[in-house]
Chain A
Amino acid sequence: MNANSSWVFWRAFARNKGAVLGLVILAGVLTLALFASVFFPGDPWDMATAPFQPPLSDGAPLGSDMLGRDIAAGIAHGARVSLLIGLTSTAAALAIGVTLGALAGFHGGWVDDAIMRFTELFQTIPNFVLAVVLVAIFTPSLTTIVAAIAIVSWPPLARLARGEFMSLRNREFVQAAITTGQSNSSIILRQILPNSLSPIIVSASLMVATAILLESSLSFLGLGDPNAMSWGYMIGAARTVIRQAWWMSFFPGLAIILTVLALNLVGEGLNDALNPKLARSRG
């Protein structure tokens, strides 16, 4: 992308005020995640102060939990886990979904039929239940959580990629590439994929948000990585003492809302900038 076209892109993106706000919030969350151990040195699992300290008390600006752990430190370190899992599981879902969708859309016929049946199966299965089953059976760890989230979230991406590939396959430039004898893999990777990228990027940015929500739900149920502090875990652990200590579950929840909201806003901004035609019809 040259300087001029990136300026055009930025202007289209910035026309959506919500998207700019989202970008600012996201930058904040990213800074918090990157510098978590600078802002809050030490292990977030360690006792920092007395248990059940309300917000604005000494050494615990957002209060402390049942074991005297600092809520603010937990949120900062939890940001790492949320963003890490959100990004990697989306990347994995992209790999599965776009590959299957590309094959189905490009080849058509029985390949398309078989892949679409498979996709439909995964769309029917209650995806959160499957994620819970997978993580519980293969024991919770960052890897199993990322894999489970990817396995339950690829179908919409496959459908999207298939649609794009199907419509682009009959365009002149692809037909020209076929006539000049390029191999299928080169046509898929170098001709069609770059041209179908913008809707895929928009969906992927929204999927990071969904993945973060999924991860938080899993760790809320106690299926988080036992070594990684996460927002969902903090809420789940504080659930039983909400009557005495609202802050333990309130602030981590706020962190999730802000992050997911920011990602959704950025996704919509990308949509406006990359698919101007679609943006208008969405109303």
Chain B
Amino acid sequence: MLGFAQLFASRLVKALAILIAIVVMNFFLVHAAPGDPAMVMAGEAGAADEKFVAQLREQFGLNRPLYEQLATYVGKIAQGDLGFSYRQQRPVWSILAERLPATLILTLTAFALALAAGVALGTLAAITVGTWADSAITVVALLAYATPIYWIGLMMSLLFSIQLGWLPAFGYETIGAGYTGLAHAADVAQHLVLPVVTLALFYMAGYARLTRASMLEVRGQDFVKTAKAKGLTPTRVVTRHILRNAILPVITVAGIQAGQLVGGSILIETVFAWPGIGRLAFEAVLQRDYQVLLGIFLVTSVMVILFNILTDILYGLVDPRIQAAR
């Protein structure tokens, strides 16, 4: 287990370095925003008289040298202070914390679905290579790659909730229904179906193509011939020998794409009015609430880093050799 702990520690150090770089970038973005930050803040608070602006400059240390301001900023972030939204008259962190669970449910479920369904479909395509099932999966993957996810979302809600009435089109729960316990969970799950499927579809297509290609490559290797020669059943050869090796590049790519998945939630949450960070980003864009927007940038970056660590753990579980090799 020592190897794994070491790998984990080195990943954490790397994650921390990336995090610091992002915080610094955030700081410069605040300063790059058109107009003096104090003026922007005053504008957001709805008052722009000279005295208030001067007071803000003093309060936020905007008249001090840049490096000093940077140090103060980093210090504040380290204490969990992401700034103050004058639009909403609340600290940015408390706004984000309220929205975070909904986004985590959405992205984690979509990630798991995309990976599981993608690998399953890719395996199916690889073992039926050259037949209609294989071609169908390839065509669907090609289409899913070319379709904007927000458009898929709109069309899904048009079909499944407006035309067929099977699923709710928007929101997190039925408002005013007052469900508790299991009934509440079932209600949320119903609302979750369309956003999750839409978000997962694009990545599922990618993982299916990758799994197919990877399995076709592994299939011809010597250890697979040995396994067959030993007289193992075809199912066992596919699951224990081919898939277990073929899945490794899929997990790597899934880790790299985690960032896109989190970014995609902005579009999905906007389409389905899902009350998470993504929907908040859309609202912040409309209101030009830069403090909240930059807070979202930081929090989503942290989410990506956590996703990456998650895929590293997954990788270690699937391929125990990794502990010895690194």
**Chain A residues in the interface with B (C-beta under 8 A):** 120-121, 123-130, 132-134, 136-139, 209, 213, 216-217, 220-223, 232, 235-236, 239, 242-243, 246, 249-250, 253, 256-257, 260-261, 264-265, 281-283
Residues of chain A within 8 A of B294, CB atoms compared: 133
- Report the bound CA distance from A121 to B162 in whole Å: 42
Asked, given contacts A217-B148, A283-B213, whether A128 binds B263 with beta carbons under 8 Å apart, the answer is yes
Q: Which of A129, A220, A235, A281 has the most CB of B within 10 A?
A: A129
**Interface size class, chain B:** 35 or more
Q: Which residues of B contact A221 (CB under 8 A)?
A: 266-267, 270, 282, 285
What CA separation (Å) do A282 and B222 show in the bound complex?
20
Contact status B146-A209, CB under 8 Å: yes
| Contact A139–B34 (Cβ < 8 Å) | yes
- For the residues of B in contact with A, the DSSP-based class is helix
Q: Are B285 and A137 in contact (CB under 8 A)?
A: no
- Collect the chain A residues with CB atoms within 8 Å of residue B146's CB: 209, 256-257, 260-261, 264
Contacts of A250 in B (CB 8 A): 155
Chain B residue at minimal CB-CB distance from A235? B151
Q: Are A220 and B267 in contact, with the CB atoms below 8 A?
A: yes
Determine which of A129, A138, A256, A264 lies in contact with B151 in the assembled complex, contact meaning CB atoms within 8 Å: A256
B27 within 8 A of A: no
Contacts of B213 in A (CB 8 A): 281-283
Write the nearest CB–CB distance from A113 to chain B, whole angstroms. 13
- For the complex, give the distance between the alpha carbons of A134 and B285 in Å: 11
The smallest beta-carbon distance between A81 and chain B, in angstroms, is 15
Q: Cβ of B266: which chain A residues have Cβ within 8 Å of it? A: 128-129, 132, 221
CB < 8 Å neighbour of B216 from A121, A130, A220, A283: A283
Does chain A have a CB within 8 A of B301? Answer: yes
- A126 x B18 contact (CB < 8 A): no
In the complex the two chains form, is A239's CB within 8 Å of B145's CB? no
B151 x A137 contact (CB < 8 A): no
The residues of B that contact A217 with a CB separation of less than 8 Å are 148, 150, 267
Report the bound CA distance from A121 to B14 in whole Å: 10
| Structural contact, B271 and A239, CB atoms closer than 8 A | yes
Q: Which of B2-10, B46-54, B254-262 faces chain A?
A: B254-262
* Given A257-B143, A261-B145, 6 other A-B residues pairs in contact with their CB atoms under 8 A: A124-B259, A124-B305, A132-B266, A137-B29, A242-B157, A260-B146
Query: How far is B259's CA from A216's CA once the two chains are assembled, in angstroms?
Result: 19
